[in-house]
Structure 1
Amino acid sequence: MWQKIVVIGALMASVVPARAGVQRGAPDMQLAGVVPKNSADQFELAFWESIKNSSHAGDFEAYLKAYPKGRFVTLAQARITRLRVAADKAAEKPAPVAAAAPVTPATPAEKPAAQPALQRSAQRAARQERAQAKVAARSSRTGAKTAARETAEAPAAEPVARREFKDCPECPRVVALPRGAFTMGGSSIDQTELPAHLVTLDRPFAIGKYEITVREWNACVEAGPCRPTAQYASPNPRAPVRDISWLDAQQYVNWLSNTTGATYRLPSEAEWEYAQRGGTATRYWWGDQMALGKANCKDCGPPWQIDEPIGAGSFAPNPYGLYDMNGSVWEWVQDCWHNSYSRAPADALPWDDDPSCEARVVRGGSWRDSAPFMVASTRASADPAMRQSQNGFRVARDVE
């Protein structure tokens, strides 16, 4: 029996939960969730463990900012120096002379949107929402633990066709979701995910089918409002943009709103979890057990690579047709960070009542994290001004 703590880059500057559990050989998918730790040494060690093999100087700079007097300061400074020297040498290396003009590889085309099937899905969606409400009500009466046990053998929900659209050629594709109700939070021993509580979404909304990609971010950069991101060795235009702060994400959604006339924003934490669960009430949207090929994480099977997250849409979508809500990159949401769901709003609006708000919420885990972080209720906090190579986002949009 052993315990492993994984921490998200610079999230240790704020209050950050860490996963704990039992593992034998392959990952034990019954790991209970995040257990808050009180030791600053444990935070620092876990932070260093998560970045020590990184090839990005920004990760070590984030460590130095979070722990200016930490035990690994000398190592971090040395690693930054080596990485910058290597980058300078690569920049100075003359490009090979080709005998013929190079052929630019074609950019993979965006996957065609599924054809609307609203007539066929309306009744199914209504049934699903009623079932969610029943599970939520039962959970509130008997406790989240009982509700989780009753759904332990429930199969993953079937995909549901949703209306998809884009407001402009450079805009992200979004999926319109209906009103509904669900039980938010977990039944684990992680206090930040408790208490599990019923949330009712009284208004429909749309959410990004994919995380914002490098290509979509660069459209905002070219227009002026957004800053260029860190230059990685092999930028993939279809990869999720990362090294993004909460403040950066706000600039992007404001640009989208001004460009299109529609109201774009970050999703609330409740909207995000509602979308992530895809109409299910299990630990993962596909069930209570981990399954390979469902998420972009280091325990989740191919296609996965250690250096960077793979292109958007490379893993299976959830029943709402949304991709990469488990793993890939941590996703910013609008809410301020709270250490538990005590007194959390029940209407899915952002829990954004603190004008000082020193930390914001990120959801979903990243490609560098292990399988326990893929659980639907996983959450953590980060400084809204902090840029870190595992953080990105997806947009939400108001709809009538």
Structure 2
Amino acid sequence: MRTRLSILCGLAAMMTMAAMSAAAGVQAVRQHAGDIQLAGVVPKNSAEQFELAFWNSVKDSKQVGDYEAYLKAYPKGRFAALARARIQQLKSAPQQVPAPAQKPVAQPAKPAESKPAREQAQARTANTSKAQQGKARPQQADATDDDQEEAPAPNTAGAMATVKDCEACPTMVALSPGPFTMGSNSSDPSEKPAHKVALRTPFAIGKYEVTVDQWRQCIKANVCPTVPLPDDAPGNIPMRDVSWDEAQLYIKWLTTASGKPYRLPTEAEWEYAARGGTATRYWWGDEMKGGNSSCKDCGQPWKMEEPPPVGSFPANPFGLHDMNGSVWEWVQDCWHSSYKGAPTDGSAWAEPNCQTRVIRGGSWREDGSYMLSTTRFKYDASVRQSQNGLRVARSLK
């Protein structure tokens, strides 16, 4: 027994020394990275700006996959050495010696599928300070998957009834088409020019982002890949760390399961849905206010490690939750650095052999400046990143 304990102590000491060495390496590389100076201000909508934004989104992560995603996108990037050192540090972190096995305690039966619950979300947000809450929140839509649930009345004639095509299918909100102004002339250059878009076809879009439980059903069908989320990850949080290519696998499975032509929303459909019939910077107005979206310093519930359950924040006027914040959402379109030449009928802006796709909406790790309805960014279609998820859509004609 004493010999075994000595061996375990020796192993723990060796792992601790390795972790300390890796930490020292990270510190040295971080100091070097801090010495990197860019020539003047990083221009918006430039390669440097996109790399910097990518790095800033993962630099505090504790997941190896986030740094591997950065290295895949920027193998010779200015933070590549720091990313490799951080990977070494995380892989060298000492592991706790497992405690002696104990007799398992019987647990109550777990529900077959976790569902978003308005009552739980309201209870969690009850302790939010008045400063964070701002004005009284509008009453949230009932976060259940009932087929006949009515969407909140929108400011314009946009939202209709909810749609649920199969037991495994996400609940969607049916939207009637209409005109709106897409983009912004006063924000990032990639959002210019603001232009009129007239959607011509009614479509349905996910009331919530695709959840972990919903993705797990696709895994059980041997279609979707297993994504490195914790085994105990709640089933009602948004699925993330999914590439655009992997999102297409989920879409394909859902189409087969439902018999309906599922897809990702087009970028124009996504912004139309996110605005909820409004023309302001955010769906709730022109000023950022806490308590409306899952983002850093934007109110509870929030934690750095993962986004809160879907439906934890109020729905927009179309009855859609978490369009701003939570996780970045893949859309169907190829990336273009501006809207010059973009379709004006709401269709996807696609091209052959497109390698870079658009993501929309910001995530829980970004601050309020990313919560604008016009916010957009890009990723390689094959890259996983722990802040990227999806919301499904399909045409209704």
Q: When the two structures are superposed, what TM-score results if normalisation uses the length of structure 1?
A: 0.75
8 Å contact from structure 2 (residues 264, 391) kept in 1? yes
In the alignment, is residue 93 of structure 1 matched against residue 98 of structure 2?
yes
Superposed CA deviations along residues 187-244 of structure 1, whole A, max 9, x for unmatched, are: 3142211111111111111000011111001111110111111133741111111111
CA separation of 1:38 and 1:117: change in aligned 2, threshold 3 A: closer
8 Å contact from structure 2 (residues 115, 236) kept in 1? no
Whole-Å separation in 2 of the counterparts to 1:204 and 1:252? 22
Q: Name the amino acid aligned to 2:85.
A: A
8 Å contact from structure 1 (residues 60, 77) kept in 2? yes
Whole-Å separation in 2 of the counterparts to 1:292 and 1:377? 18
Question: Where do 1:220-369 residues align within 5 Å?
Answer: 220-232=218-230, 234-352=232-350, 354-369=351-366
Whole-Å separation in 2 of the counterparts to 1:173 and 1:203? 19
Whole-Å separation in 1 of the counterparts to 2:276 and 2:256? 30
SS class of match (1:265): coil
Whole-Å separation in 2 of the counterparts to 1:347 and 1:259? 29
Superposition RMSD in Å: 2.6
8 Å contact from structure 2 (residues 210, 392) kept in 1? yes
Match in the other structure for 2:185: 187
Q: 1:36 deviation in Å?
A: 1.6
In the alignment, is residue 386 of structure 1 matched against residue 394 of structure 2?
no
1:373 to 355, 361, 370: 370
Q: Name the amino acid aligned to 1:89.
A: Q
Q: 1:37 deviation in Å?
A: 5.0
1:82 to 75, 89, 109: 89
Whole-Å separation in 2 of the counterparts to 1:369 and 1:229? 22
Whole-Å separation in 2 of the counterparts to 1:180 and 1:39? 35
CA separation of 1:83 and 1:321: change in aligned 2, threshold 3 A: same
4+ long deviations beyond 4 Å: 42-46, 104-108, 113-118
Q: Name the amino acid aligned to 1:288.
A: D
CA separation of 1:292 and 1:96: change in aligned 2, threshold 3 A: farther
Whole-Å separation in 1 of the counterparts to 2:213 and 2:362? 22
Q: Name the amino acid aligned to 1:77.
A: R
CA separation of 1:202 and 1:386: change in aligned 2, threshold 3 A: same
Q: Name the amino acid aligned to 1:57.
A: V
Whole-Å separation in 2 of the counterparts to 1:108 and 1:217? 12
2:144 to 106, 112, 132: 112
In the alignment, is residue 208 of structure 1 matched against residue 214 of structure 2?
no
Whole-Å separation in 2 of the counterparts to 1:95 and 1:202? 64
8 Å contact from structure 1 (residues 262, 398) kept in 2? no
8 Å contact from structure 1 (residues 329, 364) kept in 2? yes
Q: 1:104 deviation in Å?
A: 5.3
CA separation of 1:64 and 1:161: change in aligned 2, threshold 3 A: closer
Match in the other structure for 1:51: 58
CA separation of 1:100 and 1:355: change in aligned 2, threshold 3 A: closer
SS class of match (2:340): coil
SS class of match (2:332): strand
Whole-Å separation in 1 of the counterparts to 2:47 and 2:149? 51
8 Å contact from structure 2 (residues 73, 380) kept in 1? no
Q: How many residues align?
A: 329
SS class of match (2:378): strand
Which range moved further: 254-263 or 269-278? 254-263
Q: 1:44 deviation in Å?
A: 4.5
Which range moved further: 231-240 or 191-200? 231-240
Whole-Å separation in 1 of the counterparts to 2:266 and 2:337? 16
Superposed CA deviations along residues 339-358 of structure 1, whole A, max 9, x for unmatched, are: 11112111101111x21322
